[in-house]
Amino acid sequence: MAKYRLLYFNLRVQAEPIRYMFELASVEYEDKRVSEEEWADMKARPGFGQLPVLEIDGKEIPQSRAIYRYVARKHGFYPSDDWGHALVEVVLETVRDFDPEVSKFFSQTDSKKREEIRKEFIDKGSNKYLDNIEKLLKNTNGGTGWFVGEKISLADILVFYLIYDVIPSLLGKEPGTFDLSNHELLHAFMKRFKSEPKISSWLGKRPKTPF
């Protein structure tokens, strides 16, 4: 059995999908939360110089999305057919389209501009992304089950993470508080995912972090 060591800051954003997968698959891993001093030492090493990093038996995988895919392939979070595999990738890429919004927000230091970005996101932006994501959900079982195939995949994990963790941190709110009243199917999906026993257990015991 591989020895996994996940290295990241004491934060959710970027590393949390990995933790969700390990928890769901009951895979043992060291959830190493790196301090500022440790990070200063690591940055000085030649190599990737970024987190998260997944250490597997001494070898390293950098790049969050490379790690997501590796863990998903290894622990059954992709369907077994090629086309289903590609559909999961479509969801991953669609969720990724949201990244410029996150960067736009966090790179903005003027608090007034941040508020403007937040307001614009709630009033207009969010619907555009959520419409696209809900459309994808509808493609399988009319949107009453999981995003692709008959079991939880990386697609479900990333959408849950986006809506439960990422969007609320953008809005300065607690995880799981984003209002989905305009998107019934997504709302039901979030409830479904959150009530998976290993997920609700993790949500109950994970460290509380600002984002």
Partner 1 sequence: MHSLRLISSSSTGPIYRLIYFNLKGRAETSRMMFKLAGVEFEDFRIDQKRWAEFKHMAPQGILPVLEVNGKKLPQSGAINRYIARELGFYGCNNWEASRIDAVVETIGDCLHDLDIWWMIRDLDVRNKLQKHHEGKLIPKALARLDQLLEENSEGRGFLVGDKISLADIHAMNYIHDYLPTLHNIKAEDSFPRLGDHARRIAEVSQIKEWIKIRPFSKF
Lookup: tokens for 67 = 């790690």
Closer to partner 1 by CB, 117 or 203: give it: 117
Q: Please pick, from the candidates 5, 32, 33, 74, the single residue that binds partner 1 as defined by CB under 8 A.
A: 74
- Contact status: 183 vs partner 1 (CB under 8 A): no
Question: Which residue is listed with tokens 């891993």?
Answer: 29
Q: Is 206 helix (H, G, I), strand (E, B) or coil?
A: coil
Q: What stretch of H or E contains 6?
A: strand 4-9
- Contact status: 93 vs partner 1 (CB under 8 A): yes
What is the phi/psi pair of residue 46, to 5°? -70, 150
Q: What is d(CA 91, CA 186) in angstroms, rounded to the nearest whole number?
A: 14
Minimum gap (Å) between residue 12 Cβ and partner 1: 19
- Contact status: 65 vs partner 1 (CB under 8 A): yes
Question: Which residue is listed with tokens 């937040």?
Answer: 118
Tell whether omega for the bond before 52 is within 30 degrees of 0, i.e. cis: yes
User: Binders of partner 1 among 100-159, rule CB under 8 A?
Assistant: 100, 103-104, 132, 135
Minimum gap (Å) between residue 102 Cβ and partner 1: 10
In this chain, which stretch among 21-29, 42-50, 114-122, 171-179 interacts with partner 1, using CB under 8 A?
A: 42-50
- Contact status: 86 vs partner 1 (CB under 8 A): yes
Q: What is d(CA 31, CA 28) in angstroms, rounded to the nearest whole number?
A: 9
Which residues of this chain interact with partner 1, rule CB under 8 A? Answer: 46-48, 59, 61-67, 69-70, 73-74, 82-83, 85-87, 89-90, 92-94, 96, 99-100, 103-104, 132, 135
